[in-house]
Amino acid sequence: MINLYPTQIETISLHRVGNKNKGEGVFLSEEPFSLNDETTGLLKEYFFKPFREKEENYFKFDNEVDVTFNEMFKIVTAIFENPNSLHENSKKIANLLFDQSNHPHIKSGEVYIAYLTDLMLDNVKVNAVGVFKSELKHDFLQFQEKGNSLDILVQQGININKLDKGCLIFNTDKEEGYKILSVDSNRYDAKYWLENFLGAEPLADDNFKTKNYLKMCQSFAKDVVLPAEDKQQEVLFMNRAVNHFAKNDTFEESEFLNEVMENPELIPEFKHYKVEKGPKYSIEDVSNFDIANKAVSDARKKMKNVINLDTNITIKLDFINPESAEKFVEKGWDEERQMYYYLLYFNKEEKN
């Protein structure tokens, strides 16, 4: 878990990177940018806001031979070893980004490279290198007095409420390729930032395994449980799955299946599904791991415990214990109407 509120920007360098394919160049500042209280406050909000709002999916530097051959890994390591070298190394980062800016869709923009201190990562204070890029320009109005009238000036600038691209590279787990958080709000150049520039791949930590295993369970519920059973059983299966994760510290697949699968015939179906779909979620070989509580909480928030009926009626199953749905909700078939029905039991109506 990350806390960016105490983070300090110690030093920052600004450059501009054009599109190589269009014959645009790269502009490198001679000196680091001089911060003041106003710009520091604005930049911190601009840089860090998307990371506070985004789900924490970590990455690491990678290389098919060895991570030490990854160019960004080498540059960032040099900065961590000597923070005073940030400006000179920021030029290397800008040039590296420029070398990857050769697709017609890639937009030119300003690049900010910062040395950051006092970030809290899993309650441990760490330093980091931040690399951010602004691309999309927006029109805005300025007003100027001209005699007895106000004149409108149309100018262009960036929206500091929306960072286009950015990454935080934490000075931890160096041997594995550091720990990285990345954001990219533009989808027209998906591989440019994360793969081509950073050379990063997902970090398969416990948070990654917990989140992706639950994602696979959700797909299994939709693809297998729903057709084999019904919507109620799909919802109940996911409730049982999430609750199993919530009440355990470690995950063991055979225990999970025995507890969550009420229909034993679906256990071999699940194992087959994992073989087939596991690679999509990078968990094909995962059957034991420590459960990450935050990933479970995030999954619970996204769960839609809703049954939508074709009679314009919606049933929301809003319980922590899935047994409640089985005890107080019954599904049946009415021969006279030739329709399915749900029978709901309750003691009293709750007041809003």
Q: What is the pLDDT of residues 226-267, one digit of tens each?
A: 887 777 788 888 888 988 999 999 999 999 999 998 888 889
Computed over its alpha carbons, how large is the radius of gyration of the chain?
26
| Digit-coded pLDDT (tens) for 261-305 | 888 888 999 999 999 998 898 888 889 999 988 888 887 777 777
Read off φ and ψ for residue 244, nearest 5 degrees. -60, -45
Structure token digits, residue 17:
């990177």
Which residue bears the tokens 């063991």?
252
Domain extent listing, the chain? 2-203, 207-344
Q: Give the global pTM.
A: 0.76
CA–CA gap between residue 321 and residue 134 (Å, rounded): 46
> Could you give the C-alpha distances from 255 to 40, 239, 261, 284, 349, in angstroms and in order?
51, 16, 10, 17, 37
Tell me what pLDDT residue 17 has: 95
Query: What pLDDT is recorded for position 77?
Result: 97
